């Protein structure tokens, strides 16, 4: 009898320790940036610089610290190259098709952003901010969005200048007051083969999906008589993760990507800015995710480019953050031919959004002890360095002809 009491008592104490609301993440605060950045300083913008131009010479005379790494990447096979390490005719062709459609969507928008145009004197239809926000959220989720959030557009959400396209070098002005962030889910199975071709195939697919949703929404808002600009892959004026954080959709983690509550970093983001009145999300970022990232380090452990830092957050520009080495990351892309996605795949938050993993995420958020235990358990069940899955049979069918 005494033994039974001891066992039951131990079990009860264990449950209390694991599930009492002890968050223990007070020192992990989220701070909004104060400085705006030039889009040209992003490696994905710099890759478009033509080596035999004055723009190329001018940029690297001002930023010589990037030149060696960037030129090394230019000499590699390149993203979606048939000479790259993970070339696969089916997945690469699918990704190219998606990106070409995205280019078409971008070219369909005027070269002069809607943010700099008058409203064409169209009469505005009066809207209720709460009701129109609720409608937009439900409509987008009904047609493919995973999450939708609303926030006031801040200066730090915007790049200071355009870094690519016909308006490269032109300053970006804050004209709109509101922003709508949209996330779409990337398929869990397609990413399990990252950095094989399915990763870039799925990534491009969801960039396209999020772009269509943003363009649909911006067109809808214009039909109501207001201004709106869709910020989609290849044509951003905003830094999408910063908007998404303030819109209540997640927080930026160790790998530098938006960490959402249900899918972790397994999302793609688009944004619509507008002058239409909207009700803003009032939720605050969950800093327990930062605490989890601080101890987990799994993305850093598996990163094939060693681009993700192992250490704690450091203070840069007045805020605490992890800073990935974008040049190392992109160079691996140019060698592999894909946009990798290995860090996204292995993140414990990226597991399927089923009842079991929802319970695990709830416990991680709720309890400090469980959070630390979950890191060890994830390594036991999934491996500290999970294996790369073979391509799905339906994807690999071209190689079996």
In a domain, 223, yes or no: yes
Residue ranges of E strands in 187-317: 228-231, 251-252, 258-259, 267-274, 314-316
Q: Do the domain assignments include residue 230?
A: yes
Does position 147 have pLDDT exceeding 50, yes or no? yes
Tens-digit pLDDT profile for residues 346-361: 999 999 999 999 999 9
Residue 6 lies in a domain: no
Question: Is-contact 179 149, C-beta < 8 A?
Answer: no
CB 299 within 8 A of CB 262: no
| Bigger pLDDT: 8 vs 182 | 182
Does 387 score more than 70 pLDDT?
yes
For residue 92, give its domain range: 39-393
Q: Provide the pLDDT for residue 122.
A: 58
Q: Does 4 have pLDDT greater than 70? A: no
Residue 47 structure tokens = 């890759």
Provide the pLDDT for residue 301.
Answer: 97
For residue range 303-347, what is the model confidence (pLDDT) as tens digits? Answer: 999 999 999 999 887 889 999 999 999 999 999 999 999 999 999
Question: DSSP 3-state helix, strand, coil percentages of the chain (rounded to 5)?
Answer: 45, 10, 40
Count the neighbouring beta carbons within 10 Å of the beta carbon of residue 130.
Answer: 11
Residue 151 lies in a domain: yes
Any residues with CB less than 8 A from the CB of 309 and at least 6 apart, and which? 254, 300, 322, 323, 324, 325
Strands, DSSP E only, in 175-235? Answer: 178-185, 228-231
Q: How many helices (H) and strands (E) in the chain?
A: 15, 8
6-12 average pLDDT score: 46
Give the residue, 112 or 81, on which the prediction is more confident.
81
- Structural domain contains residue 387: yes
Q: Which residues have C-beta within 8 Å of that of residue 375, sequence separation ≥ 6?
A: 292, 295, 296, 298, 348
Q: What is the DSSP letter of 18?
A: H
pLDDT classification of 9: cutoffs 50, 70, 90: very low
Tokens 């507008």 -> residue: 274
Q: Quick check: is 4 in a domain?
A: no
pLDDT at 10: 46
What pLDDT digit, counting tens, does each position of 173-216 carry? 999 999 999 999 999 999 999 999 999 999 999 999 999 999 99
134 belongs to a structural domain: yes
- Residue from 115, 164, 124, 381 nearest 271 by CA: 115
Would you give the DSSP letter of residue 87? -
Helix ranges (H only) for 109-196 are 129-142, 188-191
Q: What is the pLDDT of residue 253?
A: 96
9-23, 89-103, 246-260, 339-353: the lowest-pLDDT one: 9-23
CA distances from 337 to 90, 201, 315, 330 (A): 13, 11, 33, 10
Give the pLDDT mean for 116-140: 82
Which of helix, strand or coil describes residue 90?
A: helix
**What is the mean pLDDT of the segment spanning 119-128?**
74
Which position has the token pair 């339906």? 394
Contact indicator for 238, 231 with CB cutoff of 8 Å: yes
Question: What is the tally of structural domains in the chain?
Answer: 1
What's the pLDDT at 316?
A: 84
Q: Please provide the average confidence, as pLDDT, over all residues in the chain.
A: 89
51 pLDDT band, cuts 50/70/90, is: confident
**pLDDT score recorded for residue 6:** 53
Cβ atoms of 229 and 114 closer than 8 Å: yes
The stretch 121-149 carries a mean pLDDT of 93
């Amino acid at each position: 009898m005494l033994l039974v009491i001891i066992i039951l008592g131990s079990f009860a104490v264990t449950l209390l320790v694991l599930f009492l609301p002890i968050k223990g993440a007070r020192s992990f605060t989220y701070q909004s940036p104060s400085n705006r950045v030039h889009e040209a300083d992003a490696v994905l913008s710099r890759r478009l610089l033509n080596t035999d131009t004055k723009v190329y010479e001018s940029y690297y005379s001002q930023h010589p610290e990037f030149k060696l790494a960037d030129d090394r990447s230019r000499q590699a096979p390149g993203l979606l190259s048939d000479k790259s390490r993970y070339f696969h005719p089916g997945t690469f062709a699918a990704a190219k098709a998606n990106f070409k459609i995205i280019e078409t969507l971008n070219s369909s928008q005027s070269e002069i952003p809607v943010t700099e145009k008058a409203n064409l004197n169209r009469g505005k239809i009066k809207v209720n901010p709460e009701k129109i926000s609720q409608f937009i959220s439900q409509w987008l989720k009904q047609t493919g969005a995973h999450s939708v959030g609303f926030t006031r557009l801040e200066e730090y959400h915007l790049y200071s200048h355009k870094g690519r396209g016909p308006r490269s070098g032109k300053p970006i002005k804050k004209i709109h007051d509101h922003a709508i962030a949209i996330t779409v889910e990337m398929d869990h199975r397609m990413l399990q083969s990252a950095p094989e071709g399915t990763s870039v195939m799925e990534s491009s697919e969801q960039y396209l999906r999020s772009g269509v949703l943003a363009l649909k929404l911006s067109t809808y808002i214009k039909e109501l008589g207001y201004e709106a600009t869709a910020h989609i892959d290849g044509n951003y004026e905003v830094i999408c993760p910063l908007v998404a954080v303030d819109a209540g959709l997640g927080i930026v983690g160790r790998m530098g990507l938006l960490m959402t509550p249900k899918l972790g970093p397994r999302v793609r983001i688009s944004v619509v800015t507008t002058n239409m009145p909207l009700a803003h999300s009032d939720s605050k970022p969950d800093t327990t995710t930062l605490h989890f990232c601080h101890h987990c380090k799994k993305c850093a452990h598996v990163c094939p480019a060693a681009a993700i830092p192992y250490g704690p957050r450091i203070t840069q520009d007045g805020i605490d953050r992890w800073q990935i080495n974008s040049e190392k990351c992109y160079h691996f892309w140019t060698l592999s031919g894909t946009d990798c996605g290995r860090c996204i795949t292995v993140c414990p938050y990226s597991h399927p959004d089923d009842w079991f993993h929802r319970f695990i995420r709830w416990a991680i958020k709720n309890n400090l002890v469980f959070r630390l235990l979950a890191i060890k358990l994830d390594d036991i069940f999934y491996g500290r360095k999970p294996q790369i899955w073979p391509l799905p049979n339906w994807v690999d069918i071209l190689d079996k002809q």
